[in-house]
Amino acid sequence: MDISVVVPLYNEEESLPELTAWIGRVMKEHRFSYEILLIDDGSNDRSWEVIEQLSGEYPEIRGIKFRRNHGKSAALFSGFEAVRGDVVITMDADLQDSPDEIPDLYRMIREEKYDMVSGWKKKRYDPIMKTLPSKLFNGTARLASGIKLHDFNCGLKAYRKEVVKSIEVYGEMHRYIPILAKNAGFRRIGEKVVQHQARKYGQTKFGLERFINGYLDLLSVIFTSRFGKKPMHFFGLIGTFMMVLGFASAVYVGASKLTMLARGIRAPLVTDNPYFYLALTCMIIGVQLFLAGFIAELVSRNSSERNKYFVEKRTFPIDKSVNGEQ
């Protein structure tokens, strides 16, 4: 199968017939073999009834329904587990992503050998309260990840099947799929300017809180990608710094008192010196960070993903005895 289209949705009953008809028309024009996976993320309208009707009429359409709303990341992950196509396309169900972009995205994956191609809505039909924070967010993500994309959160993306089968999208990590792909060893990540259309039905499902959550998730994915399998390198480094600072403060306090006593000067109590409390606090924090690092190492060593590596190819020595050679 050439293409799998994964569409996560929540309360999009009005747009689904038009979207699936549009996708089908594009696929037939370019003679692609395809499937459409509609992931109903716990909708409380008639979305699932529409999906059942469409899947009954068109064998290319399949549906997955959640009992409650779990979020876009969970919907995408479920879709990724079920895809069968060589190239996987994701798009939103609100008709703001154009299916006409699919042939070019497919070509970039198959012919230009990209592992992943992310859409860039260069011209957007959104209010400034949405576009301005988005620019700040994307700039921070570029700086932190080193991936030169203008629009990390664009729902229109294309992947090689191996990419989506190798990553785990959870929480709100759908914004950072390019980073997850890079961490999994897929470094050929491209970008394509795509058409953005004004919303035709319903209203947006995302509020301003997504930008706060976005930055928190960015910190999480950067930390786990760098220190997920070696947490002691993070906690141990900071713990060592705090302990050295505390030890230096303790030496200063002791040396100051001894110097004053040697000169016959009445020395104040050690507990009256503010550096004593600085030294004590730093050493306690340093020890706690070391303990946190040790505990994190124990958890990591017992994790099922401790030795999860992404193998692209394997070679095996030829067993000559199989061919009758001794």
Asked whether residue 279 is assigned to any structural domain, the reply reads yes
Q: Quote the CA–CA distance of 272 and 102 in Å, as a whole number.
A: 72
> 33 and 51: one domain?
yes
User: What are the CA-CA distances from residue 207 to residues 212, 213, 297, 309 (Å)?
Assistant: 10, 11, 37, 36
User: What are the CA-CA distances from residue 47 to residues 37, 85, 128, 138, 229 (Å)?
Assistant: 13, 24, 30, 32, 41
- What lies within 8 Å, CB to CB, of 23 at 6+ separation is 5, 34, 36, 99, 102
Residue ending a domain, among 186, 208, 227, is 227
User: What is the domain range of residue 114?
Assistant: 3-227
> 223 and 237: one domain?
no
Q: What is the CATH number of the domain that holds 170?
A: 3.90.550.10
Asked whether residue 315 is assigned to any structural domain, the reply reads no
**pLDDT of amino acid 326:** 45
> 80 and 138: one domain?
yes
Asked whether residue 104 is assigned to any structural domain, the reply reads yes
132, amino acid identity? L
Q: Quote the CA–CA distance of 182 and 148 in Å, as a whole number.
A: 12
Residue ending a domain, among 227, 256, 279, is 227
> 39 and 116: one domain?
yes
**pLDDT of amino acid 301:** 64
**pLDDT of amino acid 122:** 84
**pLDDT of amino acid 120:** 93
> 241 and 171: one domain?
no
Joined tokens for residue 26: 């594009």
> 130 and 158: one domain?
yes
Q: Quote the CA–CA distance of 102 and 24 in Å, as a whole number.
A: 11
Q: What is the DSSP string of 101-138?
A: GHHHHHHHHHTS--SEEEEE-SS--S-HHHHHHHHHHH
> 68 and 88: one domain?
yes
User: What are the CA-CA distances from residue 118 to residues 78, 91, 157, 172, 320 (Å)?
Assistant: 20, 11, 5, 17, 47
Whether the Cβ atoms of residue 225 and residue 179 lie closer than 8 Å to each other: yes
Whether the model clears a pTM of 0.75, i.e. scores above it, the answer is: no
As for how many domains the chain has, the answer is 2
| DSSP code for 271 | G
Asked whether residue 313 is assigned to any structural domain, the reply reads no
**What are the residue ranges in the chain where pLDDT is below 70?**
125-131, 198-200, 202-211, 213-215, 228, 300-326
Asked whether residue 23 is assigned to any structural domain, the reply reads yes
> 199 and 112: one domain?
yes
> 175 and 236: one domain?
no
Instruction: Give the containing element (helix H, strand E) for 55.
Output: helix 47-57
| DSSP code for 272 | G
Whether the Cβ atoms of residue 99 and residue 14 lie closer than 8 Å to each other: no
**pLDDT of amino acid 163:** 96
> 125 and 99: one domain?
yes
> 183 and 250: one domain?
no
Joined tokens for residue 130: 């949405």
Q: Per residue in 184-224, pLDDT tens?
A: 899 999 999 998 876 667 666 555 566 676 667 777 777 77
Question: Of how many residues is the chain composed?
Answer: 326
Residue ending a domain, among 210, 227, 244, is 227
Asked whether residue 318 is assigned to any structural domain, the reply reads no
> 182 and 151: one domain?
yes
Asked whether residue 321 is assigned to any structural domain, the reply reads no
Asked whether residue 31 is assigned to any structural domain, the reply reads yes
251, amino acid identity? V
Residue 34 β-bridge partners:
3
